[in-house]
A and B are shown apart, each in its own frame.
Chain A
Amino acid sequence: MGALTAQAGVSQPAVSKHLGLLRQAGLVRDRHEGRQTHYSAQLGALAPLMDWTSEMAGFWEARFDHLEDLLKRMDQ
């Protein structure tokens, strides 16, 4: 936990609160080892949120970026 706090530059209580919420949501799993608690991400838990529209949203946002670049270069 301490290392995570150092990494994130966020206070320890804030980190533990976030991890608690992530754990409740099943997005992170914790494992106690002596005084230390290890957390690991549960990628599969997020699956139901992602359907084809979230996939294509990323696709189209990138295409809009390319389109804007192209428009800048056109007619120069």
Chain B
Amino acid sequence: MNETTTETRSVVVEREIPYPPEKIWRALTQSHLIEEWLMMKNDFKPDKGRHFNLSADWGAVDCQVQAVEPTKTLSYTWDTKDLRSVVTWTLTPTSTGTHLRMEQSGFRADQRPYYQGATVGWRKFFANLEQVLARLD
């Protein structure tokens, strides 16, 4: 099931946000605001072709702006040590605000399952299960 091909995979997260696209666009494109929600230092500017970096204690990401359509679309490459991907933001106005969609698509160099690193729901579930089981003995 987890053959090590390098076919593209993607993650999509989308939410209804009760704010207009213009306000969300500001949060997505102003460096100091990006640092607040993405929690990464950055030298982002919404200029097509611009290279920028994201950095946090857990690691760094090399990026290049691919597409900029103010209050509509923003996409940039998102490359780490072993991941080559593109992050695309799409903002669609709705009666109550904005439908905000983020898609990150790409592949890992070896596409090896991602063992180490950040919190993953399953890991926490198993830690809890382990505790319950441990208390049984």
Interface residue ranges, A against B (CB under 8 Å)? 1, 3-4, 7-8, 28, 38-41, 43, 46-61, 63-64, 66-71, 74-75
Contacts and interface: CB of A to CB of B under 8 A. Distances in A.
B83 to A, nearest CB: 6
Contact of B133 (A4, A55, A68, A74): A4
B26 interface: yes
A56 B1 contact: no
Given A41-B130, A48-B2, 5 more contacts: A7-B132, A40-B130, A46-B122, A51-B2, A69-B37
Given A40-B133, A66-B36, A56 B15 contact: no
Interface string B19-35: 10001101100000100
Query: A interface, by DSSP: helix, strand, loop or mixed?
Result: helix
A60 B132 contact: no
Interface of B: 1-2, 9-11, 13, 15, 17, 19, 23-24, 26-27, 33, 36-39, 83, 100, 102, 104, 108, 111, 113-115, 117-123, 126, 129-130, 132-133, 135-137
Contacts of B114: 50-52, 54-55
Nearest to A61: B13
16 contacts: A4-B136, A38-B137, A39-B133, A39-B136, A48-B1, A50-B115, A51-B111, A52-B83, A55-B118, A56-B11, A61-B13, A64-B13, A66-B39, A67-B17, A71-B17, A71-B23
